[in-house]
């Protein structure tokens, strides 16, 4: 990898990359060492999650639902930016089979939008608005790690 912040370089095989990372995580949980080519941001997250006692099978809890979620989103500073975010990223997410997920500083998902099939898969793992996806709650994941390191991942 040329950029440690890029998860998948252009042209890389995502299935092969996932296989490599699964094996690396098995090594980490068994031996406590992180083999190459795991990016430092991921290795650090695995270590934080292990110290917190959070395993990879943890499910996110929904902390805000229905009217509580709507009220929280309405008051959140990002709510005013969502129309622009949707305009810039929304069609890419819809057309490309991706999700647009926006969380607060605690790792709570506020908006999860995008491709319907991808959203259904996300729903099945409780990657839904109102769920808390911080590393301390569910371990290594993009929103939680972004909050932990205070930058996009």
The per-residue pLDDT for range 70-125, each reduced to its tens digit, is 999 999 999 999 999 999 987 888 888 899 999 999 999 999 999 999 999 999 99
Number of neighbouring beta carbons within 10 Å of residue 51? 9
- The DSSP letter of residue 3 is S
Last-in-domain residue among 41, 57, 73: 57
Whether 96 and 112 map to the same domain: the answer is yes
Asked if residue 153 has pLDDT above 90, the reply is: no
Residues 69 and 33 in one domain: no
pLDDT at 126: 97
Q: Report d(CA 112, CA 108) in Å as an integer.
A: 11
* Residue 26, in any domain of the structure: yes
Angle of helix 14-31 relative to helix 40-51, nearest 10 degrees, comes to: 40
User: Which pTM value belongs to this model?
Assistant: 0.89
Q: Write out the residue range of the structural domain in which residue 97 sits.
A: 61-132
* 75 and 128, same domain (yes or no): yes
Is 142 part of a structural domain of the chain? no
């Amino acid at each position: 990898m040329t950029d440690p912040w890029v998860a998948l370089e252009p042209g890389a095989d995502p299935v092969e990359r996932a296989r490599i990372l699964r094996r690396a995580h098995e090594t980490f949980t068994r031996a406590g060492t992180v083999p190459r080519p795991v990016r430092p941001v991921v290795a650090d997250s695995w270590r934080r999650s292990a110290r917190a006692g959070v395993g990879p099978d943890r499910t996110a809890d929904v902390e805000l639902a229905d009217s509580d979620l709507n009220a929280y989103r309405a008051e959140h500073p990002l709510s005013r930016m969502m129309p622009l975010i949707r305009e810039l990223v929304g069609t890419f997410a819809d057309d490309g089979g991706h999700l647009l997920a926006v969380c607060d500083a605690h790792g709570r998902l506020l908006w999860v939008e995008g491709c319907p099939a991808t959203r259904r898969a996300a729903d099945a793992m409780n990657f839904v608005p109102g769920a808390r996806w911080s590393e301390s709650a569910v371990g290594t994941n993009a929103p939680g790690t972004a909050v932990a390191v205070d930058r996009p991942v």
